[in-house]
Structures are given as C-alpha cells and as structure tokens.
Amino acid sequence: MKKAHLFVLFSALLTNIIQAQDEAPVSVVKNQFKINLLLPGFVYEHGFNAKNTLYSEFSLGIGFSSNSSSNSSNFAVFPTINEQFRHYYNLEKRAAKGKRTARNSGNYLAVNAIYNFESISTNDDYREAVPSYTVGALWGLQRTYKGRFNLEFNIGPGVNFDKYETEFVPVGNFTLGWVIGK
C-alpha cells in the first residue's frame, strides 16, 4: 500500500516538473561568451529581452582580391569588429517541435555593422588594403549543441565604405567554436 502511495506522489511531482518545464518561456540567454576557431576571435552576446540580443565580435578577417588588368592579386589579414542587433524569430516554434533552443539556438534577422582595420599583411604591388566599414541586413542561424559546440551561419546584402569607393557587397559569415562559461 505504501508503495502505491509513493508511486502516485512521485508521478504527480514528476508531472508537475515536466509541465513547468514545458510552460517555461523560451528566451535568449542574458550573457553568452564564445570562442571562434575558423577566424580566431571572441564573441559576447547580450540578451536584452526574450528575443533580442546585441552580438559583439572581435576576430581576424581575411580577404582576397585580384586585378586582371595588372595580373596581380592581394591576400589580406585584418582585425575586425562586428556588431549585430539580432532578433530571434523562431524560438517558440523550435521548442514546440522539441528542438534545442538553449544558448540562443535559433534563426535570426540582424542589422550588422563591421569595421575592418588596416591589413596586417598585404601585397605592396597591389592597391593597399585600407580600413573599411560595412553595414548590412542579415538572415542567420545559430546552433549550440550539448557539448557547447557552436555553429553559426549568416548572409545578406550590405554596403561597404572605404577611402576609394562605396559599393554593394554580399555579407556572410560561417563560424565554428565553443560557448564558454555557464
């Protein structure tokens, strides 16, 4: 008889715990730090409310350009600061399907601003790689898996400004890394 009462009590508690988890609001994390490996860098993402974050990244960027008329090319490595205001739009839908939403695992739309510092390696025979900034609109996705392995991809149109020209450019980024901290 006591076993039956304990079973009923345990079942009721377990049901309440499961329902409480299901009813918990799906939200971005308040503070998230990441290390990127492909283009080495550090990221801090600050959650403002349930769906919006400010993403700040400092990393190394790479670029390649060529000039067919002079038959020359230029490969550049430069420090980069990337700021994005992100709106995660599908967290509830992912949670309803039983997919992960932990550590901002979802799809987002973002307004993006990138500043590329002067190149730390360049070809002196080609036009200098000068500082530039790019603004754009992005669609992206971020997934953080159980081992805190993080994958991120975003793409969209942008406008690049430097001392030589202003031009429309594609903006895209793919990163692999780890979420660090809690």
125-172 per-position pLDDT tens digit: 555 678 999 999 999 999 999 899 999 999 999 999 999 899 999 999
Beta bridge partners of 81: 58, 115
pLDDT at 173: 92
Q: Where are the beta strands (DSSP E) in 26-131?
A: 31-36, 41-47, 52-67, 72-88, 106-116
Contacts of residue 127, Cβ cutoff 8 Å, sequence gap at least 6: 65, 67, 74, 164
Contact 46, 70 (CB under 8 A): no
42-60 average pLDDT score: 96
Judge whether residue 26 has pLDDT over 50.
yes
Confidence check: pLDDT of 69 > 90? no
For residue 109, give Cα distances in angstroms to 51, 54, 136, 140, 154: 11, 12, 11, 6, 9
Token pair for 20: 């409480």
Residue 22: pLDDT above 90?
A: no
Mean pLDDT for 14-29 is 58
Q: 43: closest CA among 29, 30, 31, 58?
A: 58
| H helix intervals, 86-167 | 91-96
- Decide if 19 contacts 158 (C-beta within 8 A): no
| Token pair of 65 as six digits | 């350009």
- E strand or H helix at 14: helix 2-23
Residues 91 and 102: beta-carbon distance below 8 Å: no
Top mean-pLDDT range of 19-23, 96-100, 107-111, 114-118: 107-111
CA dist 31 and 9 (Å) reads 38
Identify the residue with better confidence: 123 or 16: 123
Task: Give the closest residue to 36 by CA, choosing from 118, 154, 115, 135.
Answer: 154
Residue type, 6: L
